[in-house]
Amino acid sequence: MTPEERSAVLALLHSAHVTEPTRRALLERLDARYERQFFDEAEFGQLRALAVRLVPHDPADMDLTGTVDHRLHAGAGDGWRYADAPPDGDAYRALLAALPDGFETLDAEAQDTAIPAVQASHPHAFEDLLAELTEAFMAHPLTQYRFGYVGFADAPQWPHVGPNELEPREVAYGPH
């Protein structure tokens, strides 16, 4: 994240346009970094490489891999899973074990070539992981800023609701 992006995100988050509960949640997401606790070091490296291929991002900007690891370590879930599926942690470990040896050291093209076979052999785990990574990516304030989304500026409500009608704060805080 560039200093300009960080400054713009923080300016909006600290403005009167954002309620305190929303501010707290998004500030936590902005700088969230988790120690690896669930996966071993090799699995964590594989997961990070896979996460970058599935949801292109810079792990220095947002710790999507740490977010997954943290959730699994905490034993949290999203409230459902397929009846025939093992718990998320076991399913994700099996998916990672299906990756080629040294997946995290392969070039991007070789990684992309390997992914469809893993997806086919572990469809439920792949679908769940992709959804979890996408959710974490889209919920991150930097992603929202880069997309020009300021819907989390929830304090003053939204009087303009028509297509292509921007609120003044959307123009002021959106990417330029």
pLDDT at 173 over 70: no
Name the phi and psi angles at 99, rounded to 5.
-70, 150
What would the pLDDT profile of 62-99 be if each residue is shown by its tens digit? 999 999 999 999 988 877 777 888 999 999 999 999 99
pTM for the full predicted model: 0.84
Alpha-carbon distance of 56 to 167, in angstroms, equals 30
Sort residue 45 into left (φ over 0), alpha (ψ -120 to 50) or beta.
alpha
In this predicted structure, what is the pLDDT of residue 2? Answer: 87
Map residue 82 onto helix, strand or coil. coil
Average pLDDT, the chain: 89
**Per-residue model confidence as pLDDT tens digits over 126-144:** 999 999 999 999 999 999 8
Residue 174 pLDDT exceeds 70 = no
Q: In Å, how far are 28, 108, 138 from 173, measured between CA atoms?
A: 20, 34, 18
Q: Give the residue, 160 or 123, on which the prediction is more confident.
A: 123
How many Cβ atoms from other residues are within 10 Å of residue 19's Cβ?
Answer: 14
pLDDT of residue 115: 98
Residue 101 predicted with pLDDT over 60: yes
- Determine the distance from the C-alpha atom of residue 160 to the mean position of all C-alpha atoms in its chain, rounded to a whole number: 29
Q: Where are the domains of the chain?
A: 3-173
**50-64 confidence digits (pLDDT tens):** 999 999 999 999 999
CA 122 from centre of chain: 21
List of residues 6+ apart from 71 with CB closer than 8 A:
77, 132
